[in-house]
Structure 1
């Protein structure tokens, strides 16, 4: 699943997303395992909202995403912010032609766009092949609680002058999945509105399922937490974070 029209309004709609928390999580996780990290692979990088601040902190960042529209926005943002990031259009389940990195991240629930366990396994294996020995792998996913209690059957909306949206969530065809139906209305220079519609599907797995797939791919799971906290995972956590390391 890749973003289309939505890519060009993504940052405006996500203006309140706590990207600084993901950056802090990354730095704290790297420090906690005493890893020396200089190169980072940002998988599912979107518009570069993680890649750019990491690059500005001195990391050598490569961002990959399936959507060429998202990558176009990311490239423009990087140029405007004087951040050196290499962007490539690639499928996270079939990463090819890249070197090995000290660390890899899949943040902002990008992994949830993979709808089968086989695809998730392929993504883990693909990341594993592109990490150096003892490399660090960090990612987050929606929790089962969020899929069933926050998303499914609910509608979200915002009525702003330049950009408004209606976001309806339905139970998806896969177990523990959700279908997002997005309609957004964009005002042009003549004060007329254009409507764009997109459908996005996401699925999550149980924590044990992710642990199993990670171990099968060759990772050691070091820590699992929720909602940017370092505390033990709570049952009502909406976002689950994994800190993993590539085994020798």
Structure 2
């Protein structure tokens, strides 16, 4: 299973255009639409905590879990600098245990796609179900199969920022609808030279109907399946698929 290491400390600068406001609005809108009363939220794959801090500012009591100690260290530093109280746990999302239940659980920014196989996704759904209160809401997104196969595999991405630059190459993974991302990023030193760091990240997705079936097997009721921050059903050219389910 992939985990962020050195990349964690540059993640925010490279993700500054990520749609965190839209993720936060999706959560708030879903909570209103489906009548969520409480404010306890579990964020799986919390990363550096940017979305969690958005939600905290909106009045949510946020608990976060991530496999990467480095990402959690950044999240903790950001939370302390803002006077925010995030409860953080270094755990695998497919095996986590916090000892309590929540009103809402979320997995965004395609974090679920980092799980290596069907069994890990099913375990995650089961763990989320057990950690939700009755009528609790489960919200997550994943890459579409088309995005993995047509927009990632075989393509190279890059940035020439003078402070932090990167080369990102994507290759066919071992399984259908999977991809390996080879990341090389370079950070400027005071002497004018650059430090280089390399990481490999694995992602895998599944067809919409497969996720739907696994959710139902875990006991969830499907509330909506939509695409790309809209209320529209997924289309063949959709990139990001959103699921809303209820315990």
TM-score grouping bracket, smaller chain normalisation: over 0.9
Aligned position for 2:18: 17
Aligned position for 1:95: 96
Tell me how far 1:30 sits from its aligned partner.
Answer: 1.0
Within a 5 Å distance, the mapping from 1:190-205 to structure 2 comes to 190-205=191-206
Q: 1:18 to 1:97 in 2, by over 3 A?
A: closer
Gaps of 5+ in 2: none
For residues 205-232 of structure 1, give each alpha carbon's deviation from its aligned partner in whole angstroms, at most 9, with x where no partner exists: 0001000110011101110000000122
**Is 1:210 the counterpart of 2:214 in the alignment?**
no
CA contact (8 A) 1:104 1:131 kept: yes
Aligned position for 2:147: 146
Between the aligned partners of 2:98 and 2:229, the Cα distance in structure 1 is 32
Q: 3-state SS of the aligned residue for 2:3? A: coil
Query: Greater shift after overlay, 115-124 or 91-100?
Result: 91-100
Aligned position for 1:189: 190
**Is 1:75 the counterpart of 2:76 in the alignment?**
yes
For residues 71-100 of structure 1, give each alpha carbon's deviation from its aligned partner in whole angstroms, at most 9, with x where no partner exists: 000000111122211111011111113300
- TM-score, structure 2 normalization: 0.98
Aligned position for 1:130: 131
Aligned position for 1:34: 35
Tell me how far 1:37 sits from its aligned partner.
Answer: 3.0
Q: 3-state SS of the aligned residue for 1:30? A: helix
Tell me how far 1:176 sits from its aligned partner.
Answer: 0.7
Between the aligned partners of 2:191 and 2:30, the Cα distance in structure 1 is 48
Q: 3-state SS of the aligned residue for 2:231? A: coil
- TM-score, structure 1 normalization: 0.97
Aligned position for 1:49: 50
CA contact (8 A) 1:115 1:174 kept: no
CA contact (8 A) 1:30 1:37 kept: no
Between the aligned partners of 1:55 and 1:242, the Cα distance in structure 2 is 22
Between the aligned partners of 1:98 and 1:52, the Cα distance in structure 2 is 22
Between the aligned partners of 1:217 and 1:10, the Cα distance in structure 2 is 33
Between the aligned partners of 1:232 and 1:37, the Cα distance in structure 2 is 28
Tell me how far 1:5 sits from its aligned partner.
Answer: 0.3
CA contact (8 A) 1:157 1:167 kept: yes
Tell me how far 1:189 sits from its aligned partner.
Answer: 2.1
Between the aligned partners of 1:245 and 1:83, the Cα distance in structure 2 is 28
* Structure 1 residue ranges (4+ consecutive) displaced by more than 6 angstroms after TM superposition: none
Aligned position for 1:221: 222
